[in-house]
Each structure stands twice: as structure tokens, then as C-alpha cells.
Amino acid sequence: MSTDVSADPAVLNLQTYLRIRSVHPNVNYDECLAYLRGQAQQLGLSVQEYTIVPKKPILVMTWTGSDPALPSILLNSHMDVVPVFEKSWKHPPFAAEIEDGVVYGRGAQDMKSVAVQYIEAVRRLKQTGFKPKRTIHLSFVPDEEVGGRQGMGEFVKSEHFRALNVGFSLDEGLASASSEYLVYNAERSIWHISITCPGKSGHGSLLLPDNCGEKVRYIIDKFMDLRQESKKKMEDNPELTAGDVTSVNLTILSGGIQNNVVPEKFVASFDLRLALSVNHQEFENMIKKWCSEAGPGVTYDFDQKDAFVAATPLDNGNPYWLAFKATTDELKLPVKICTFPGGTDSRYIRELNIPALGFTPIINTEPGLHQHNESLKLDVFMRGIQIYEKIIPALANV
């Protein structure tokens, strides 16, 4: 029989954070900052706040190590959460109500729970008298849920970030439906692309030449064929995950003003996540070729075009990985290495050639990020604190 931990101070701390409505759009982060400043004061950690982009604050708590000249450890989390459809929730999404040992709230998995696990692990370590060799920074950043470009994306370009002297970063992963802990050492590249297909406008009763509908059909067929290839790869190899293939989704199709008027253009927008094995230049050349084949005047534009970012190596040349893996082995945690299917702030860290891992210590839990009734079992949450209580010292003492 599991112990009721609903009154544990760590759980109450999580509930407090979940009740802050740091929800898109137009997030006001003031309440998050006040909460985090209070936590830092309780922990005896120094605090710095940076606003590189207006209304996009970044807060960093610092636990200075005994050898602060060494590259530091960064424990990163984002303060923002995605919007909710409140009527579809069984509990109010910002009430952090507990039922049958499960807390419900937006951010319960993604990723306020991880932020509180960092805080509570540091609290326990300080209570034991532990002193890290390397300095440990806890960063809390904005706007990850809308791409992070004005949050971590700008922060890593600043002198403030360089002054942190980061040697290794931990950030979010995903909840695991099995008993395996998922560890992410890479991410696919996000490309958001719009294909514009112009044509001759006229009466809907005519078979006009240079037709934008024919052009957009050709483009959609090409992208959907590519989508089928990825689906078949995953069907043929059950070991593959979503992060191992290129995903293709038609997300916006626009054009037309009236049913009996042939429009002058259609625009098809696609969300593409390029697998690590994809050569970016060859892939763009393929898209360029499709546009040429579709007909005269077909063009493409990128709303987002991430560069290729190499995976963090998991070998003997990465001492942080060796410390992480030695700890999970000691704790007898089964670990599965994956490529993250979406995007996290780790990609901005890896772009600087700083090793980074995505890790959310949540197992036997159906992933619920961005879904109705996002929730987390309290015993899993508490176990995650214990895990970080071992991992953080191991990394800090590399």
C-alpha cells in the first residue's frame, strides 16, 4: 500500500507552482518570479534576473561550488504552459487538485514538476551539508512553449549566459508509459514551411489553365508520400520512435474567397521535423524540385528553419554522461536513449557544443503534455526528487 504524501511540503510546493497561470498567450511571468525568488531565499541561493527581450524574464538561482572556476551544471526548466480548454478538464486546470494520489494541473508533466523536483532535491542536499565541487545553476526561462526563441534562444547569445560558464545542461524529457526512464540526447530539426501555389483566377465553371488547385494537389501529394514513408519505417521496425524518422504534417491550407470563384492562389503549410540522418541541403533541394514540377510560379518560404544540431555524444569522452549513467545504474533505473520528437530548449544549448540531456523522471505514466487532464502520480513525483538527489551531486562532482 502506498503512503499518502499529499501533505508533504514538496507536494504543497508543486501545487503552489501549478496554481500560477503562466499560460499562453501573453504570459505575465511576475507571479512565477515572485514564487521562485521565495524558493531561492528559502534555499539560501543567490538570484539573478535577466530581461533580454521585454516581458520575457529569465531567473537564475546559483549554488556556488567549492571550485567555481570549473564549468558549471545547468538545471533548466521553462515557466510557461500551453493553453487549456477548461470545460474539458475533470478538475480546474489551475487548481492543482489531488484525487486518489494524483495531482491534476497544466504543467504537472510539462514541466513545472521537474522544476520543483530540482528545487526539492537541492533543498534536501543542502540539509545534508553537501557542498558541490562545480557551481550549480537553476534557470527558469520563458516562452519554451512557443519555440523558445525569445527565451533560451536569446539568453544563450548573451554575456549573462556566457558568465554562467555552463559545462553541461539537464532539461525536460517526456513521461514514459513503461518502466523505462527516457533520456534524450538529440532533437530533430524543426522546419515550418509554406508553399504558395499561384494560378489563373476566374469563374468556377471553367477549366482554366495554370490552375492553383492542380499545383497544390501536386505539392500535397509529394509531402504526404514522404509522410507515408516515415509511417512505414516505424511500422516495419517497432524499435523506432517518433524521433527517429522525419515527421510531415499538413497544418494549414488557405485560399479562396467564394465557391464559384477560382482563387488566384492556394497556400499549404507543413510542420516538418527532420530526422538526424537527413541532409538539410538535399532535403531543401528536393522541396525546390517539387515546386518546380508543380507548375509555374510555385514558391516556398520558411516560418522556422532550424539548423542541424548534432547529438550530445554518449561515450567515454563525455564525463557528464558517464556520471549520469553510473548513477542510474547504481539506482537500478532502466534507461532508454531516444531522440526527442518535438523541440526543447536543449537545442539552443547543444548549438553551443555544450552537452545536454533531456530527462523527466516520470515512469509508468501515460504522457499527457498539452492534453486535457494533465496529471502526475504523487509517488512518481516524490521518487523523481530522490533520483535528482543522486544525479545532481554526481554531475556537480565530475
pLDDT, position 1: 41
For 203-243, the three-class secondary structure string (H helix, E strand, C coil) is: ECCCCCCCCHHHHHHHHHHHHHHHHHHHHHHHHHCCCCCHH
Cell numbers found for residue 355: 552537452
Q: Which stretches within the chain are classed as H helix?
A: 9-18, 30-43, 112-128, 152-155, 159-164, 212-236, 280-294, 319-330, 346-350, 378-396
pLDDT, position 369: 86
Report how far residue 78's alpha carbon sits from residue 172's, in angstroms, rounded to the nearest whole number: 9
Report how far residue 168's alpha carbon sits from residue 356's, in angstroms, rounded to the nearest whole number: 6
Q: Is 80 a catalytic residue?
A: yes
pLDDT, position 2: 56
Q: Which domains does the chain have, with CATH numbers?
A: 9-173+344-396 (3.40.630.10), 194-305 (3.30.70.360)
pTM: 0.93
State the sign of the Cα–Cα–Cα–Cα dihedral 67, 69, 73, 76. Answer: positive
Contact indicator for 396, 120 with CB cutoff of 8 Å: no
DSSP-assigned letter for residue 202: E
Q: Count CA atoms closer than 13 A to 298's CA, side-chain side.
A: 26
Q: Rounding to the nearest 10 degrees, give the CA dihedral for residues 94, 177, 274, 302.
A: -10
Low-confidence ranges of the chain (pLDDT < 70): 1-2
> Which of these is catalytic: 80, 110, 171, 389?
80
Coil, strand or helix: which one is 256?
A: coil
> What are the tens digits of pLDDT across the range 340-351?
998 999 999 999
Nearest to 213 by CA among 287, 294, 107: 294
Q: Count CA atoms closer than 13 A to 386's CA, side-chain side.
A: 10
Pairing state of beta strands 136-141 and 72-78? Answer: parallel
**Hey, what amino acid is at 166?**
V
Report how far residue 348's alpha carbon sits from residue 89's, in angstroms, rounded to the nearest whole number: 33
pLDDT, position 20: 98
Helical packing angle, 112-128 and 378-396, nearest 10°: 60
> Which of these is catalytic: 144, 145, 171, 187?
144
Cell numbers found for residue 25: 498567450
Cell numbers found for residue 197: 501555389
Coil, strand or helix: which one is 379?
A: helix
Q: Is 144 a catalytic residue?
A: yes
Coil, strand or helix: which one is 75?
A: strand
b/e map of 285-299 (b: 16 or more CB within 10 Å)? Answer: eebeebbeebbeebe
Phi/psi at 315 (5° precision): -145, -175
Pairing state of beta strands 56-63 and 356-359? Answer: unpaired
Nearest to 291 by CA among 193, 192, 200: 193
